[in-house]
Amino acid sequence: MNTDFGYGMWPAAVFSIGLVFFFVGSFMLPTRRREWRSMGLFAAWIVALFTEMYGIPLTIYALTALLGRAYPVLNPFTHQNGHLLVALAGGSIVVWAFVMLLSSVLFFGGVAVMARGWRLIHMVQGDLVTTSLYSRTRHPQYLGLFMIISGLLVQWPTIISVTMAPLLIWSYVRLARREERELETRFQEAYLTYKAKVPAFIPRMRRRPSE
């Protein structure tokens, strides 16, 4: 196994942060103050995560200091062993491949869901959308964001990212609820009927028999 120190790669950190912001910002560009607050929290989360992924492995420093020789791998500061799920499996290549596959599916699947939701909204130009992805979930763009967050957590869980993730997700849940109150006022009975049939985030994979 490679024993090189796998950190201090700041260009990779900056590139990765920029890439995530490009994907998310392309389909969820904030326009209101409350949207900027949630996006600011997401930005802080992303910067913290990639700082540890490529720059300074604070979580690994903390865990190796705490566990000492009980840490499950001999070379904790290689980049492969920086994946905590891989380290817990003793540096298994199979686990590493699974982590990379699962995190990639969640990340790029989330981008695809966000992109599709964004296109549907802009196609109707202000009307209520209830078809395609919106017939499965009321907030596909936020669902896509949650998938991206989950994918990054699978790939590189850290003390900071795991601690902040529930707060980050909750901020977008609150934002979605505020948006729904506006939609109820605007579309009234039409939105209330739609809301009663379609879940907020977790998609309903099968249609009801009456639909």
In a domain? residue 205: no
- pLDDT score for 69: 84
What is the C-alpha separation between 86 and 69, in angstroms, rounded? 17
Q: What is the pLDDT of residues 88-114, one digit of tens each?
A: 888 888 999 999 999 999 999 999 999
**Overall pTM > 0.85:** yes
Point out the residues of the chain with pLDDT beneath 70: 1-3, 205-211
Number of domains within the chain: 1
Is 59 inside a domain boundary? yes
Quick one: pLDDT at residue 1?
44
Q: What is the pLDDT of residue 112?
A: 96
| Domain housing 183 | 10-197
pLDDT at residue 137 in the model: 95
What is the C-alpha separation between 116 and 129, in angstroms, rounded? 12
The predicted pLDDT at position 207 comes to 58
pLDDT tens digits, 165-190: 999 999 999 999 999 999 999 999 99
92, part of any domain: yes
Domain-located, residue 94: yes
146 exposure class (CB count in 10 Å sphere: 0-12, 13-18, 19+): buried
Q: What pLDDT is stored for residue 55 in this prediction?
A: 94
Query: What is the rounded distance in angstroms from the CA atom of residue 168 to the CA atom of residue 150?
Result: 12
